[in-house]
Structure 1
Amino acid sequence: MARIGIITPYRKLYFETLRVKEELKDIKKDIEVRIGLLSNAVDVAKDLINDGAEVLISRGGTLNYLRREFPDIPLVEIEISSYDIAEAIMEAKKVSPHIALVIFNNMLYEGRDLAKLFGVDMKVFFIEREEQAIDAVRRAVDEGCEIIVGGGIANKVSAQMGLHSVLISSGKDSIFRSIRQAQSILRYRSDVLKQSELIETVMENTPLGILTTDMNGRIKMVNSPALDIIKMPREHVMGKDIENILPELKEGNKSFLKEFNENKIMVDIKRVDIVSSNIGYIVTLEEISEISKKEKYIRSAYVKKGHVARFCFDHIIGESKAIKDCKQIAERYASFDSTVLIFGETGTGKEMFAQSIHNMSRRAKGPFVAVNCAALSENLMESELFGYVEGAFTGASKGGKTGLLEMAHRGTIFLDEISEIPPSIQAKLLRAIQEKAIMRLGDDRIIPVDVRIIAASNKDLYDMVKKGEFRSDLYYRLNVLNLKIPPLRERKGDVILLFEHFVDLFCMKFHRERPVIDKKGYDAIKSYDWPGNVRELENFTERLLAAFDCAYITAEKILFLLGMKEDNLFETCQNNGIVVEMPSTGVVELNETEIYRILKENNFNKSKTARQLGIGRTTLWRILKRQENAR
């Protein structure tokens, strides 16, 4: 298949072109040469195009005809140089110095200078169409010209009228240059075609609907997803004014929701001034349902990144009525989707309750995002909660950032120490709760968010409202369901239970045996007020086991770490007993006399005695060793 078609107006040029083709061995298979003059060349060109020609080469008036008939086909001219015309004039001078030069407007001409150079009387007649050649030759004869110099049509007319004529021939170099130029065009078209195919492939395989227009708003490109969204065939869209589909286009760059055939679509319009590509607007269309699917995927990805609740109600330890009542209320709250406000002193486990509520709610599979409001400055808090777009402020990350409220979409956000939020952020948070939507910093787009808010405070928010330190409207928005977590001093019965749990936990963490603890030590732990609540008790237990790596922990060691004196303890701490753990009864008191009695009954068999006491043989050995050292 020849990709380059050459149409020569006369036979001499035809044969010269064939000789050039043979010399171009690397591309001669891509070249087809045929004869065609002026209007006759049109049918020849059609045949070449049908056979696969992508570029046509010709010259003079024949090229003009082809340009009019095939505006979309690249055309290359075999140029006529001054040298070619000079040769023809020199040949004509041999017949007569009275010469007429009959040529098309597009033919290169510097003949006036050549006439002076060769000392001839030469008149020039320009023509634009084939039918003008006869009139031009007649005028030349009337003006005393005796020989005609010109292209194929001038040569043909002169022969019909019995006049002498000389054909202006194109040289070998001109033919060679035209073929190389055609090659360059083919390479360029190939690159453009590849780029066009790539763009088309990308457009057809993107889930977004995409339309592009020219500078006048006429649709130039549209992909299949866009046609599916607007429910129109391609032929009813291409070349049409886009304002017939989107009247909002005249408002310029914007994003908005629009309904197409009962489907809600997110429309994004961008004006681009690319005059060279004749592109005016790029429009993207996306179904809201698809956006929701993507959001769901993103949220699940955030869950995998760590935005997940680890605790449930079973992790909240306690047998006291106060904590049981609190858990029961919280479990009921989990079945609702209302905002929860949790009150509790520092260390009472507010976040553990928040996570438990989330994990028992219908949002359990969604993200749980925890925010410590006291740890963020005003500026940082706004950007962290609501996110920002690229360029929103100095130092903003490239590509912007998703806010924590967005991350919590379809899940729960826990706002700890809500009392520390500054007034400016309180107003924005209130609006987000009311509208169920947020706006990123530096953006004008509204982003819907479906999120449950659980807030917590260790301060009396109502008192802060009365003092004007907290917005009353935000307080009432948050305080739909409220939960008060009792401090540890109001649930004394849970202290030892929690302490035992933490001892087991840290013994496992530190890879050590569980120590025996003096009864007075237990009494000290139980009588202490624990102003830092469960967190303080947990930290104390870790510190106790890290500081004393021994099998038996005395009351003095515990009192030392608690900063207490012995006379601060209850009257129940008067004996000198030793505390050991029994598997069935928990903690029992054994004195030296009783241990000796059981040992004697078992004929001083330590293994049997340890089993009877419910302790390990090593533990019994340590107790006996301590008693021996005390004597």
Structure 2
Amino acid sequence: MAEIAFIAPYEDLAHIARQVSLELGLDLSIHVARVEEGANLARDLARNGCQVIVSRGVTAWLIEQAVDLPVVDVPIGGYDILRAYYQAKQFGGPIGIADVPDVIQGLESLETILGDTFLKYTLKNQDDDIRRGIMALKEAGAEVIIGKIAMAREARNFGLNSVIITSGKETVYQALKEAQRVLQVRQQEKRRAEQFKAILDFAYDGIIALDEEGRITVFNPVAEKLSGWRAEEAIGRPVTEVIPAAQCHILLKTGKPELGELLDIGNTRVVANRVPILVDGRTVGVVTTFQNISSLQSLEHKVRRRLAGRGHVAKYTFADILGESPSLKEAVRLAREYAAVQSTVLIHGETGSGKEMFAHAIHLAGPRQNGPFVAVNCAALPENLLESELFGYAEGAFTGARKGGKPGLFELAHEGTIFLDEIGEMSPRLQARVLRVLEEGEIMRLGDDRIIPVNVRVIAATHRNLAQMVKEQAFREDLYYRINVLNLEIPPLRERGADVLLLAGHFLQEFCRQLQRPAGNLTPEAARELLQYQWPGNIRELRNCMERLALRCHGTTINAAEVRQALGLVIAPESGVPGEGAAGEGRIERLAGQVSTLERGLIKRVLAEAGGNKAEAARRLGVSRTTLWRKLKEENKIDKTGKA
């Protein structure tokens, strides 16, 4: 069945349509039928899949009333009227014409060309009384009537001569080209409608649209499920009847979007976005989308579990970095600037000073914030294991390798950030492999010969003096300059002044809230103890101290003795009463010295047994290589000063 049908009121017009359709290469079904017969035929064609109908005159008008399809009317052109005019002149006498305004208005220029005038009668619409028009033209003196078939037939009933205005090839061509354009637009609209329907039917969101009177025009299946209304019942009703709580109609007056609003629809709590539809600055409707909060929470938890299990989620922003000291504010300012670019960052700071928190914040404030954030502590894993973690491995690379292999952390960080904590503890061999990733942007899994391109931003951190390590050939110079593009120094807690008290109060409240007990207040003496302490473990040590205080202290105030005890500065004598005063402090110093001497002796003995291998010595001692390095550094200082 052709998608375009031509219903001609007379055979000659059908013949012209056949000629033009062949020239256009148009698949066209052509029929001859007039007025009501043509309308009935159009109904049959519409039921059989016809999309556009072309006809002429009264027949076209009746078809428009009969079917819900676009109807293209073959126009009356100037050449058509000219042909009819010269035929009518053979009968002599004044020439009259009765037709619709579009035809009548075009006669003025034609009269100028011909040097003749028509007696004219304008039909207000296709349903106007043709008989009345012919009668009026006869009374005005017309002897010949030119017009469409219905007008010509009525003229003969009044005893007048008549000539039918037939459509020529050029007007049929024009009508069929218009029909092609209409069909194309109709097909595009149908495709868009089907796309729109698919979006509405399969979207996770509930979707409701209103017209400018607040009546529902769109009501998708999710909206049906949440509201309990069927779409066919809801559409056309005021939204205030269907979902009063949605408050969508308010936007028709305000014209202001409302995003993230919490609503109760039936027994379900949803988060809704309401947006006005604006045309030329005027609100003509509203679209509301909403999602079930429990579904959102479930999806969020699922995504977070899957990502967090692989270390892909950055947790901290710059808002989580607390402190008012100038040194910290300067570090945050620099970090914010570094976040805006893609360059490698080297963060230096003592253990527990917050290096990883800054790395998280830089990632979340930068252009890669929607990508993964992968963190790895280079001091926490043996060399071979760290290598397989960073670069992954192919199937069968070694005994126990996972079937199908395993992607490395550099792969998992693609389009995101990788944080290499304690990079100073990395072996020279691994340093060389990391350098290649930074320079070439590609990795090769263990046991594989395939190159995998990766696009990652590297943030490295260390508490060691890498520049000194380069001089001592303990760290690769080329890698050092490759990672030290942007340098960020995190101030130790002892240099941050009153930030100690700010952080102490924050941690104390956090732990007391977890324990469901009121947070105690620090006395001035207790605050002084915190400020005077050197905090070798920095913020991590302060947090641990506050956790101990939250567990041990049940009063409304926390005194200096309790703080010293939490810091390990007070050791109970044999009587079980905490030591205080000069005697207690002297006892603490003596015990600390004895412990330090025993510890140094143990480290030397184990290091000798391990043949100077620090990694093996750390393993035997049950400490990390970072801790062992710090202990050896402290011993070197003691050896130089000669004091215990």
TM-score w.r.t. structure 2 length?
0.55
Paired residues of 1:273 and 1:280 also in contact (CA < 8 A): yes
Question: How far apart are residue 233 of structure 1 and its match?
Answer: 0.5
Q: Does 1:562 align with 2:638?
A: yes
The separation in 1 between residues aligned to 2:617 and 2:2, in whole angstroms, is 92
Q: Which residue, out of 166, 173, 176, partners 1:176? A: 173
Equivalent residues in 2 for 1:12-23, closer than 5 Å:
12-23=12-23
Give the letter for the 1:285 counterpart: F
Q: In structure 2, what is the equivalent of residue 270 of structure 1?
A: 275
| Aligned twin of 2:43 | 46
| Kept after mapping to 2: 8 A contact 1:499/1:541 | no
Identify the residue that residue 322 of structure 2 maps to in structure 1.
Answer: 373
Q: Which amino acid aligns with 2:269?
A: K
1:259 is matched with which residue?
Answer: 264
Conserved in 1, the CA contact under 8 Å of 2:43 and 2:66?
no
Query: What's the CA shift for 1:453?
Result: 10
Match of residue 110 from structure 1: 106
2:511/2:550 contact within 8 Å kept: no
The offset of 1:65, in angstroms, is: 3.4
Q: Do structure 1's residue 97 and structure 2's residue 90 form an aligned pair?
A: no
1:372 CA drift (Å): 5.5
Relative to structure 1, the CA distance from residue 102 to residue 108 in structure 2 (aligned partners, 3 Å threshold; closer, same or farther) is closer
Give the partner amino acid of 2:499.
Answer: E
Alignment of 1:158 with 2:155, yes or no, is yes
- Indicate the SS of the match to 2:103: coil
For residues 181-196 of structure 1, the aligned pairs below 5 Å read 181-196=178-193
Change (3 A) 1:380 1:45: farther
CA distance in 1, matches of 2:196, 2:602: 67
TM-superposition CA deviations, 1:32-78 (whole Å, max 9, x none): 222343454322221221121111222333333344444x5222221
Shift in Å, 1:104: 2.4
Alignment of 1:137-152 (within 5 A): 137-152=134-149
* Structure-2 change in CA distance of 1:110 and 1:263 (3 Å): closer
Amino acid at match of 1:541: L
Deviation at 1:298, TM superposition (A): 3.6
Q: In 2, are the aligned partners of 1:211 and 1:283 still within 8 Å (CA)? A: yes
Offset from partner CA, 1:533-588 (integer Å, 9 cap, x none) = x99x975731676x8xxxxxxxxxx854325665x56xxxxxxxxxxxxxxxxxxx
What is the 5 A alignment of 1:547-626? 560-563=636-639, 568=643
Q: In the alignment, what sits opposite 2:629?
A: 542
Rg (Cα) greater in structure: 1
The answer as to whether partners of 2:216 and 2:237 remain within 8 angstroms in 1 is yes
- 3-state DSSP of counterpart to 2:261: strand
Alpha-carbon spacing, 1:104–1:540, altered in 2? closer, same or farther (3 Å): closer
Query: Can you list the C-alpha shifts for 1:119-177, whole angstroms capped at 9, x where unaligned?
Result: 54520112224561112112222222111100121122223444321111111111112
**Residues 98 and 144, structure 1, Cα contact 8 Å, conserved in 2:** yes
The question of whether the paired residues in 2 share the 8 Å contact of 1:89 and 1:149 is answered with yes
Cα RMSD for the two superposed structures = 5.3
Aligned to 2:212: 215
User: Does the CA contact (< 8 Å) of 1:307 and 1:369 recur in 2?
Assistant: no
| Match of residue 8 from structure 1 | 8
Instruction: Give the 3 Å change call, closer, same or farther, for CA 379–262 of structure 1 in structure 2.
Output: farther
> Which amino acid counterpart does residue 249 of structure 1 have in structure 2?
C
Instruction: Provide the TM-score with structure 1 as the length reference.
Output: 0.56
Mapping 1:14-33, distance limit 5 Å: 14-24=14-24, 26-28=25-27, 31-33=28-30
Q: Is the 8 A contact 2:276 2:283 kept in 1?
A: no
Question: What is aligned with 1:86?
Answer: 82
State the 1:93 CA deviation: 0.3
The verdict on how the C-alpha distance between 1:372 and 1:40 changes in structure 2, with shifts beyond 3 A counting, is: same
Structure 2 partner of 1:576: none
Measure the CA separation in 2 of the matches of 1:242 and 1:399: 42
Instruction: Say if 1:119 and 1:480 are closer, same or farther in 2 by CA, change over 3 A.
Output: same
Matched residues, percent identical? Answer: 19
Supply the distance in 1 between the matched residues of 2:548 and 2:239 (Cα, whole angstroms).
Answer: 47
- Render the CA deviation track for 1:323-356: whole Å, top value 9, x for unaligned: xxxxxxxxxxxxxxxxxxxxxxxxxxxxxxxxxx
* Alpha-carbon separation, structure 2, partners of 1:90 and 1:262: 79
Q: Distance in 2 between matches of 1:236 and 1:122?
A: 57
1:10 aligned partner, one-letter code: Y
2:386 equivalent to 1:299? no
Tell me: CA distance 1:84–1:452, structure 2 relative to 1, closer, same or farther (3 Å): farther
Question: SS of 1:97's equivalent?
Answer: coil
Provide the C-alpha distance between the structure 1 equivalents of 2:611 and 2:79, rounded to a whole number of angstroms: 101
Question: What is the CA–CA distance in structure 1 between the aligned matches of 2:600 and 2:206, rounded to whole Å?
Answer: 59
What letter corresponds to residue 22 of structure 1 in structure 2? L
Q: Which amino acid aligns with 2:95?
A: I
Question: What residue is the counterpart of 1:126 in the other structure?
Answer: 122
1:89 partner amino acid: Y
SS of structure 2 residue aligned to 1:216: coil
Contact 1:90 1:118 in 2 (8 A): no
Report the AA paired with residue 49 of structure 2.
G
Taking the aligned partners of 2:548 and 2:250, their CA distance within structure 1 comes to 39
Q: Which residue of 2 aligns with 1:592?
A: none
Please list the CA deviations of residues 382-420 of structure 1 after superposition, one character each: whole Å capped at 9, or x if unmatched.
Answer: x99xxxxxxxxxx97689989x9xxxxxxxxxxx97973
TM-fit CA distance, 1:482: 5.6
Aligned to 1:282: 287
Give the 3-state SS of the residue equivalent to 2:166 in structure 1.
coil
1:99/1:290 Cα in 2 relative to 1: closer, same or farther (>3 Å)? same
Question: Are the structure 2 counterparts of residues 215 and 21 from structure 1 closer, same or farther at C-alpha, using a change threshold of 3 Å?
Answer: same
Partner of residue 499 from structure 2, selected from 398, 415, 420: 420
Cα deviation, 1:459-509, whole Å, max 9, x if unaligned, reads: x95549989x99xxxxx99986468755489685876579968968x9799
CA distance change for structure 1 residues 120 and 540 in 2, over 3 Å: closer, same or farther? closer
Amino acid at match of 2:2: A
The Cα of 1:21 is off from its aligned counterpart by 2.4
Does the aligned pair in 1 maintain the 2:200–2:220 contact within 8 Å? yes
1:234 to 213, 231, 234: 231
Change beyond 3 A, Cα 1:168–1:146: same
Q: Write the distance in 2 (CA, Å) between the matches of 1:2 and 1:106.
A: 31
Measured in 2, the distance between the counterparts of 1:143 and 1:56 equals 38
Distance (Å, rounded) in 2 between the aligned partners of 1:116 and 1:368: 84
2:212–2:284 Cα contact (<8 Å) kept: yes
Structure 2 vs 1, CA of residues 462 and 292 (structure 1 numbering), >3 Å: closer, same or farther? farther
Question: Given the superposition, is the C-alpha separation of residues 540 and 79 from structure 1 closer, same or farther in structure 2, using an over 3 Å criterion?
Answer: closer
Alignment partner of 2:21: what SS? Answer: helix
The superposition leaves residues 197-251 of structure 1 with CA deviations (integer Å, 9 ceiling, x where unpaired) of 2222223222111122233333222221121111111111222222332452244
Q: Secondary structure at the match of 1:202?
A: helix
Structure 2: gaps (5+ residues): 252-256, 340-363, 374-491, 532-545, 554-564, 572-590
C-alpha distance 161-142 of structure 1, shift in aligned 2 (>3 A): same
- Mark the CA change 1:8 to 1:108 in structure 2 (over 3 Å): closer, same or farther: farther
CA apart distance, 1:257: 2.0
Q: CA 1:301/1:36 → structure 2, altered by over 3 Å: closer, same or farther?
A: same
How many residue pairs are counted as aligned between the two chains? Answer: 430
